[in-house]
């Protein structure tokens, strides 16, 4: 492509931030070669059954190995995706359906996989919840793996991807993303894929700039065309002019310079211009995260999501298992405050060992503490593990999805009883997540039961705007930096001025909003490990305008 080609700008949704440039590598399909539908005679049916069983066993081993690798190298939560794929591949009803397809239609195992998986994928796509729809990607991924195993294909379609390119594809499946982890590409552009999809999660964890929902990307982009990718704003410029390249490179340099400066000062406390020191903690998922957070100057862990230890488990984990998992994940933060949030599981993120909760509106149903109140044994098991952890770590407990004072009172009672049983004193401090407008406006009633409050701005926005946080179709309604959210925080602070307030939702990691958060009385921010230095720098440039509360 020559410099004379027309400059073109496409706008999409930023999925994983960052700035990058490179030549476009267009990939029309990542599906790999597909064997043609193949009839088999009656006598071949048994052989197809055996081929199918062998392929399933082989991909199961691969998936478990992949899960272990991802857990070590990337993230525990993400390794759960491959454990789930392994469970999907071995689902008895899926196996039954595949065998029926072979036997009744006298077709090869490969052809049966294509038909049956397409059927399942469509079922998921028709479901209402975005989480269920994202499952169609998972089905697709498992299908490709199985068909490739049946066809003896071991080469991944991205095997020949050039170093440093900008990959343009229709959609990205979880295993494609892991594959990309070992290739040094500059950025990914997608036609489809929500911010909450597994692929998006991978891209963010790997720090790979990624923009999604770029309209007509595959028909617009051309192979080899130069592209400037601004995944901070969701803009991609094809065939940029020299001047546009210069401006972009200057932006990259500025960003790198300010990041390097912030990294150098990471260990220094974050004190505002008017002398108030703000705690910057980190949201962590795995052992690597905690190490990275501490190196980046985090004062401790502000959010450990307990569900990480549960996802992918077929049986409920016991106290010892949970304790070991938390010890390993939080190891680098020993001696510093660590906030463990109790299990925040909802009806649309079911645990395999809890009976299916048929609810027409799962995010307004039994989620977080509501579910724990219905399953007190589940609450006790992990609370016991958290209490055991508090013998070795400076633990605080956080209750998710609080709406009523009883939601925290129940946990306090349980904590007190278990503490006496285990002879633990003092008990960890207790906090409530403020994720519903009702909780934000009832701080006075929550206050007698808790020691601190932490705003989960992701859910607070979802519930304030009645906009599903995972549904890209209502994205324009989801504005977590809106006045509405700040006013809710301000009201909480005015109602309980002495109460330590923190923010652990995504909003805390956006430097441009930090001055306003501080003015709403927030004195603790918990952000992704990589963001800690920049957030501390933003605090240093801000003014609180008020004295810190006494208990902060």
Q: Please state the residue numbers annotated as binding site for Mg(2+).
A: 435, 459
Tell the smallest beta-carbon distance from residue 460 to ligand PEP (Å).
Answer: 7
Is 292 a residue that touches ligand PEP (CB under 6 A)?
Answer: no
| 533 phi/psi in degrees, rounded to 5 | -60, -40
Which of Mg ion, ligand PEP, none has residue 500 at its interface (CB below 5 to 8 Å by kind)?
Answer: none
Query: Of 459, 468, 470, 537, which one interacts with ligand PEP (CB under 6 A)?
Result: 459
Segment (H or E) for 238: strand 235-238
Tell the smallest beta-carbon distance from residue 346 to ligand PEP (Å).
Answer: 9
| 85 catalytically annotated | no
Strand, helix or coil for residue 523: coil
DSSP collapsed to 3 states, 112-176: HHHHHHHHHHHHHHHCCCHHHHHHHHHHHHHHHHHHHHHHCCCCCCCCCCCCCCEEEECCCCHHH
Q: Which two tokens stand for residue 433?
A: 């997540």
Tell the smallest beta-carbon distance from residue 281 to ligand PEP (Å).
Answer: 12
Q: Which stretch binds ligand PEP (CB under 6 A): 410-418, 457-465, 470-478, 529-537?
A: 457-465
- Please give the distance of CA 544 from its chain centroid, rounded to a whole number: 31
Query: Of 12, 193, 405, 456, which one interacts with ligand PEP (CB under 6 A)?
Result: 456
| 198 catalytically annotated | yes
Binding mask 427-446 for Mg ion (x = CB under 5 A): --------x-----------
Q: Which residue has the tokens 């309604």?
A: 477
Q: Which stretch binds Mg ion (CB under 5 A): 120-128, 232-240, 455-463, 511-519?
A: 455-463
Please give the angle made by the CA atoms of 190, 195 and 200, to the nearest 5 degrees.
65
| Nearer to ligand PEP among residue 205 and residue 435 (C-beta) | 435
Binding mask 313-352 for ligand PEP (x = CB under 6 A): -------------------------------x--------
Q: Which stretch binds ligand PEP (CB under 6 A): 10-18, 260-268, 456-464, 516-524?
A: 456-464
Segment (H or E) for 236: strand 235-238
Which of Mg ion, ligand PEP, none has residue 505 at its interface (CB below 5 to 8 Å by kind)?
Answer: ligand PEP
Please give the angle made by the CA atoms of 96, 102 and 106, to the nearest 5 degrees.
155
Number of residues that bind ligand PEP (CB under 6 A): 9
| Nearer to Mg ion among residue 419 and residue 456 (C-beta) | 456
Query: Of 12, 456, 511, 552, which one interacts with Mg ion (CB under 5 A)?
Result: 456
Is 458 a residue that touches ligand PEP (CB under 6 A)?
Answer: yes
Is 134 a residue that touches Mg ion (CB under 5 A)?
Answer: no
Is 459 a residue that touches Mg ion (CB under 5 A)?
Answer: yes
Is 482 a residue that touches ligand PEP (CB under 6 A)?
Answer: no
Query: Of 109, 282, 418, 504, which one interacts with ligand PEP (CB under 6 A)?
Result: 504
Tell the smallest beta-carbon distance from residue 432 to ligand PEP (Å).
Answer: 13
Query: Of 457, 471, 524, 542, which one interacts with ligand PEP (CB under 6 A)?
Result: 457
Counting every residue written for the chain, the total comes to 552
Count of CB atoms within 10 A of residue 243's CB?
8
**Cβ neighbours for 240, distance < 8 A, ≥ 6 positions apart:** 7, 226, 227, 228, 248
Q: Which residue has the tokens 């995706």?
A: 81
Contact 501, 433 (CB under 8 A): no
Which is the catalytic residue, given 85, 198, 239, 493?
Answer: 198
CA distance 112 to 53: 13
CA distance 362 to 348: 6
**Cβ neighbours for 243, distance < 8 A, ≥ 6 positions apart:** none
CA distance 528 to 16: 13
Q: Which residues are annotated as a binding site for phosphoenolpyruvate?
A: 305, 341, 458-459, 469
Segment (H or E) for 227: strand 226-230
Tell the smallest beta-carbon distance from residue 78 to Mg ion (Å).
Answer: 19
Query: Of 114, 135, 292, 305, which one interacts with ligand PEP (CB under 6 A)?
Result: 305
Please give the angle made by the CA atoms of 288, 541 and 503, to the nearest 5 degrees.
50
Rg of the chain, C-alpha, whole Å: 25
Q: Which residues are annotated as a binding site?
A: 305, 341, 435, 458-459, 469
Binding site for ligand PEP (CB under 6 A): 305, 344, 435, 456-459, 504-505
Positions marked active-site: 198, 504
């Amino acid at each position: 492509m020559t410099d004379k080609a027309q400059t073109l700008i496409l706008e999409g949704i930023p999925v994983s931030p960052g700035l990058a440039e490179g030549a476009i590598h267009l990939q029309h399909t990542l599906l790999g070669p597909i064997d043609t539908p193949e009839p088999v005679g009656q006598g071949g049916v048994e052989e197809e059954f055996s081929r199918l069983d062998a392929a399933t066993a082989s991909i199961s081993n691969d998936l478990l190995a992949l899960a272990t690798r991802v857990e070590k190298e990337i993230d525990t939560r993400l390794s759960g995706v491959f454990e789930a794929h392994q469970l999907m591949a071995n689902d008895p009803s899926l196996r039954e359906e595949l065998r029926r397809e072979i036997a009744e239609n006298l077709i090869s195992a490969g052809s049966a996989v294509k038909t049956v998986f397409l059927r399942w994928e469509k079922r998921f796509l028709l479901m209402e919840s975005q989480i269920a729809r994202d499952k169609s990607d998972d089905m697709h991924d498992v299908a490709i793996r199985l068909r490739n195993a049946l066809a003896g294909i071991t080469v991944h379609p991205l095997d020949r991807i050039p170093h440093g390119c900008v990959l343009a594809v229709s959609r990205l499946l979880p295993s494609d993303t892991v594959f990309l982890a070992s290739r040094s590409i500059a950025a990914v552009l997608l036609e489809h894929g929500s911010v909450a999809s597994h692929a998006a999660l991978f891209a963010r964890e790997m720090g790979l700039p990624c923009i999604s929902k770029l309209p007509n990307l595959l028909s617009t982009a051309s192979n080899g065309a130069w592209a400037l990718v601004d995944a901070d704003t969701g803009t991609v410029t094809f065939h940029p002019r020299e001047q546009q390249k210069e401006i972009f490179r200057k932006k990259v340099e500025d960003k790198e310079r300010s990041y390097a400066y912030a990294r150098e000062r990471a260990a220094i406390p974050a004190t505002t211009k008017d002398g108030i020191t703000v705690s910057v903690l980190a949201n962590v998922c795995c052992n690597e995260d905690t190490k990275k957070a501490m190196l980046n100057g985090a004062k401790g862990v502000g959010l450990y999501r307990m569900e990480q230890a549960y996802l992918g488990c077929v049986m409920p984990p016991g106290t010892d298992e949970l304790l070991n998992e938390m010890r390993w994940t939080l190891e680098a933060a020993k001696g510093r405050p660590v906030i463990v949030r109790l299990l925040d599981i909802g009806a649309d993120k079911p645990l395999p060992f809890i009976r299916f909760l048929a609810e027409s509106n799962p995010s307004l149903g039994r989620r977080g503490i509501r579910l724990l109140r219905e399953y007190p044994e589940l609450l006790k098991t992990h609370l016991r593990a958290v209490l055991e952890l508090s013998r070795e770590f400076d633990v605080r407990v956080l209750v998710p999805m609080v709406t009523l004072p009883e939601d925290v009172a129940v946990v306090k009672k349980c904590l007190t009883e278990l503490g006496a049983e285990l002879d633990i004193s003092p008990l960890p401090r207790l906090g409530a997540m403020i994720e519903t407008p009702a909780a934000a406006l009832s701080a006075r009633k929550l206050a007698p039961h808790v020691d601190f409050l932490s705003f989960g701005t992701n859910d607070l926005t979802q519930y304030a705007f009645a906009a599903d946080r995972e549904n890209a179709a209502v994205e324009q309604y989801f504005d977590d930096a809106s006045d509405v959210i700040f006013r809710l925080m301000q009201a909480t602070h005015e109602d309980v001025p002495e109460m330590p307030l923190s923010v652990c939702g995504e909003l805390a990691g956006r430097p441009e909003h930090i001055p306003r958060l501080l003015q709403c009385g927030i004195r603790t921010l918990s952000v992704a490990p990589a963001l800690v230095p920049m957030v501390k720098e933003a605090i240093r440039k801000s003014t609180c305008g008020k004295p810190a509360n006494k208990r902060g």
